[in-house]
């Protein structure tokens, strides 16, 4: 059983809903254990990059959030370890400072998260889903905690990418790419329903559903590939201020950027590093580990721009034949392995054209999975937004500091990668599994045809 819609959840018996929640909790924990068991004690406690927490911090933080929300709040039980709340509060300590804290060691951490989980399963056995609390309606708090763990699992995967040393992760390759019929798709525009009021485990920033008008535009069929991006690099794109915004140019100078992160030029050849492996740059794979400013500069160089978040979601969810907004590009069914590269099933994005079955009705591909896609939009609340269950989930991040990313990556779990899911990050960040695609205004003759 995979991710359920509100309708499917409401059809479940109480026992069915309990079993579903338990299965989702178990699935996320199995991944956390895999990512943390893969490295030795030294690699668990050390900081692999100033941008990231030590893996052992993420691990105990996952357990602490689970304790706060499910044991104490939903369950009304006594705290297990109130003394450590402050250590694992993401708002109290920036990532760079976390290694200096008196954190739980690896074995203490493992024992703590197991103890929390035991209590949570007991809470789950006794919880009344129909008690009239929004937090437990459709098991929302459990869904929030499952997603929280899965999101930290993606963050931990990014830490693995930054870790030096012998490779410790392995996965089969994604499907092969294919030649596309057309590099771009004309999207006719129109009014569509953006966001959601019905996905049971959607987070506050995805709500409520609201009508949005989108003007016609042209969007890339697939994400920009390494081969495309290499032409920008070789064409002197990083040395020419005309392609960069003022902030972008200042950043590229200050940070001395010359190519995407994890690219390496050696003996006249481009290589890339991936979870400890060094390989020739795969030209047909979506470019990854570029910041928002690099995406923006490439788009300008290509005579295009980044899509807005509205344009991205319109391309991903609108079905022009029925006028209806779908859950996913391919329809309403949950993502299967044929639709999208999700869930760390493959530890890399698929070459472009690898997921024809995941295409939207208009023929836009690889919107879900593979790489997060930078949009040109700031992270803003939708009209009618209500902070839930707390301001620190989304509200405190709204404004002009963060850019929105959409679609999820190969590292994102399907319980997170909804068609409505919104990610946000600083425009300088490159350690996330992010790429982009371009958009542009249609030419008059394209609109006539
Ligand atoms: Fe967190």
Q: Could you tell me the distance, in angstroms and rounded to a whole number, from the CA of residue 163 to the centre of ligand 1?
A: 20
Q: Could you tell me the distance, in angstroms and rounded to a whole number, from the CA of residue 224 to the centre of ligand 1?
A: 30
Residue 99 has pLDDT above 90, yes or no: no
Q: Could you tell me the distance, in angstroms and rounded to a whole number, from the CA of residue 247 to the centre of ligand 1?
A: 29
d(CA 249, CA 292): 12
Q: Could you tell me the distance, in angstroms and rounded to a whole number, from the CA of residue 212 to the centre of ligand 1?
A: 31
Q: What is the mean pLDDT of residues 148-166?
A: 97
Tens of pLDDT along 350-381? 999 999 999 999 999 999 999 999 999 999 99
Tens of pLDDT along 217-251? 999 999 999 999 999 999 999 999 999 999 999 99
Q: How far is CA 223 from CA 26, 279, 284, 349, 402, in A?
A: 33, 21, 10, 10, 21
Q: Could you tell me the distance, in angstroms and rounded to a whole number, from the CA of residue 145 to the centre of ligand 1?
A: 9
Q: Could you tell me the distance, in angstroms and rounded to a whole number, from the CA of residue 64 to the centre of ligand 1?
A: 9
- pLDDT value at position 59? 98
Q: What is the DSSP string of 242-272?
A: GGS-HHHHHHHHHTT--S-TTEEEETTEEEE
Q: How far is CA 398 from CA 99, 293, 383, 393, in A?
A: 28, 19, 13, 10
Per-residue pLDDT band at 8 (split at 50, 70, 90): confident
SS3 180: coil
- Structural domains in the chain? 6-162 (1.20.120), 172-449 (3.90.1580.10)
Q: Could you tell me the distance, in angstroms and rounded to a whole number, from the CA of residue 90 to the centre of ligand 1?
A: 7
- pLDDT value at position 7? 64
Q: Could you tell me the distance, in angstroms and rounded to a whole number, from the CA of residue 424 to the centre of ligand 1?
A: 14
Q: Could you tell me the distance, in angstroms and rounded to a whole number, from the CA of residue 416 to the centre of ligand 1?
A: 14
- pLDDT value at position 2? 60
Per-residue pLDDT band at 98 (split at 50, 70, 90): confident
Tens of pLDDT along 247-270? 999 999 999 999 999 999 999 999
Residue 385 has pLDDT above 80, yes or no: yes
Question: Which letter, b or e, does each residue of 249-278 get, where b requires 16 or more Cβ atoms within 10 Å of its Cβ?
Answer: bebbeeeebebbbbbeeeeeebebbbbeee
Instruction: Report the run of H or E that residue 297 belongs to, with start and end.
Output: helix 292-301
Q: Could you tell me the distance, in angstroms and rounded to a whole number, from the CA of residue 8 to the centre of ligand 1?
A: 28
Binding residues: 61, 95-98, 148, 152, 425, 429
Per-residue pLDDT band at 96 (split at 50, 70, 90): confident
Q: What percent of the chain clears pLDDT 90, i.e. is strictly above it? A: 92
Q: Could you tell me the distance, in angstroms and rounded to a whole number, from the CA of residue 352 to the centre of ligand 1?
A: 32
Q: Any bridge partners for residue 331, and if so which?
A: 328
Q: Could you tell me the distance, in angstroms and rounded to a whole number, from the CA of residue 28 to the centre of ligand 1?
A: 14
Report the range of poorest mean pLDDT among 38-42, 95-99, 279-283.
95-99
Q: Could you tell me the distance, in angstroms and rounded to a whole number, from the CA of residue 197 to the centre of ligand 1?
A: 24
Q: Could you tell me the distance, in angstroms and rounded to a whole number, from the CA of residue 62 to the centre of ligand 1?
A: 7
Residue 71 has pLDDT above 80, yes or no: yes
Binding residues for gamma-L-glutamyl-L-cysteine: 95-98, 425, 429
Q: Could you tell me the distance, in angstroms and rounded to a whole number, from the CA of residue 47 to the centre of ligand 1?
A: 17
Q: Could you tell me the distance, in angstroms and rounded to a whole number, from the CA of residue 254 to the centre of ligand 1?
A: 30
- pLDDT value at position 164? 93
- pLDDT value at position 6? 65
Binding residues for Fe cation: 61, 148, 152
Q: Could you tell me the distance, in angstroms and rounded to a whole number, from the CA of residue 63 to the centre of ligand 1?
A: 10
- pLDDT value at position 294? 99
Q: Could you tell me the distance, in angstroms and rounded to a whole number, from the CA of residue 200 to the centre of ligand 1?
A: 20
Q: Any bridge partners for residue 373, and if so which?
A: 406, 435
Tens of pLDDT along 171-222? 999 999 999 999 999 999 999 999 999 999 999 999 999 999 999 999 999 9
In angstroms, how far is the first alpha carbon of the chain from the final one? Answer: 45
Q: Could you tell me the distance, in angstroms and rounded to a whole number, from the CA of residue 372 to the centre of ligand 1?
A: 19
Residue 51 has pLDDT above 70, yes or no: yes
Per-residue pLDDT band at 11 (split at 50, 70, 90): confident
Contacting residues for 159 by C-beta, under 8 A, at least 6 apart: 48, 49, 52, 53, 55, 58
Q: Could you tell me the distance, in angstroms and rounded to a whole number, from the CA of residue 449 to the centre of ligand 1?
A: 49
Q: How far is CA 345 from CA 296, 336, 337, 406, in A?
A: 30, 11, 9, 19
d(CA 101, CA 117): 24
Q: Could you tell me the distance, in angstroms and rounded to a whole number, from the CA of residue 149 to the centre of ligand 1?
A: 8
11 versus 386: the higher-pLDDT residue is 386
Q: Could you tell me the distance, in angstroms and rounded to a whole number, from the CA of residue 155 to the centre of ligand 1?
A: 10
Q: What is the mean pLDDT of residues 1-9?
A: 67
Q: Could you tell me the distance, in angstroms and rounded to a whole number, from the CA of residue 152 to the centre of ligand 1?
A: 7
- pLDDT value at position 244? 98
């Amino acid at each position: 059983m995979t991710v359920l819609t509100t309708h499917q959840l409401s059809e479940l018996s109480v026992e069915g809903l309990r079993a579903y929640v338990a299965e989702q909790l178990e699935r996320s924990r199995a991944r956390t254990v895999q990512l943390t068991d893969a490295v030795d004690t030294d690699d668990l406690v050390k900081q692999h990059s100033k941008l990231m927490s030590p893996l052992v911090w993420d691990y105990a933080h996952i357990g602490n959030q689970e304790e706060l929300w499910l044991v104490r709040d939903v369950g009304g039980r006594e705290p297990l370890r109130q003394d450590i709340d402050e250590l694992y509060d993401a708002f109290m300590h920036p990532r760079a400072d976390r290694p200096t804290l008196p954190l739980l060691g690896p074995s203490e951490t493992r024992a703590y998260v197991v103890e929390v989980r035991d209590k949570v399963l007991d809470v789950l056995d006794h919880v009344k889903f129909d008690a009239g609390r929004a937090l437990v309606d459709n098991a929302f708090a459990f869904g929030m905690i499952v997603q929280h763990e899965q999101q930290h699992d993606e963050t931990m995967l990014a830490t693995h990418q930054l870790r030096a040393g012998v490779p410790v992760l392995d996965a089969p390759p994604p499907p092969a790419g294919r030649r596309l019929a057309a590099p771009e798709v004309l999207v006719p525009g129109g009014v569509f329903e953006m966001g959601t009021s019905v996905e049971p485990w959607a987070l506050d920033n995805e709500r409520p559903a609201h009508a949005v008008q989108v003007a016609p535009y042209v969007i890339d069929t697939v994400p920009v590939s390494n081969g495309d991006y290499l032409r920008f690099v070789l064409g002197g794109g990083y040395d020419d201020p005309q392609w960069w915004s003022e902030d972008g140019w200042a950043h590229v100078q200050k940070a001395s950027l010359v190519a995407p992160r994890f690219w390496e030029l050696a003996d006249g050849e481009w290589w890339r590093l991936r979870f400890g492996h060094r390989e020739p740059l795969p030209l047909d794979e979506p470019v990854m580990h570029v910041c928002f400013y690099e995406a923006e500069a490439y788009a300008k160089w290509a005579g295009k721009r980044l899509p807005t978040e509205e344009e991205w979601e319109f391309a991903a969810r609108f079905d022009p034949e029925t006028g209806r907004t779908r859950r996913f590009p391919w329809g309403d069914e949950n993502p299967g392995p044929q639709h999208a590269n999700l869930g760390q099933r493959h530890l890399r994005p698929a070459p472009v054209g690898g997921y024809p079955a995941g295409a939207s009705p208009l023929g836009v591909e690889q919107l879900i999975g593979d790489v997060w896609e930078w949009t040109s939009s700031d992270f803003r609340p939708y009209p009618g937004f209500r902070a839930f269950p707390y301001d620190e989930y989304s509200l405190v991040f709204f404004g002009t500091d963060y850019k929105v990313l959409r679609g999820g990556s190969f590292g994102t779990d399907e319980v997170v990668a909804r068609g409505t899911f919104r990610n946000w990050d600083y425009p300088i960040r490159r350690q996330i599994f992010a790429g982009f695609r371009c958009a542009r205004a249609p030419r008059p003759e394209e609109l006539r045809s």
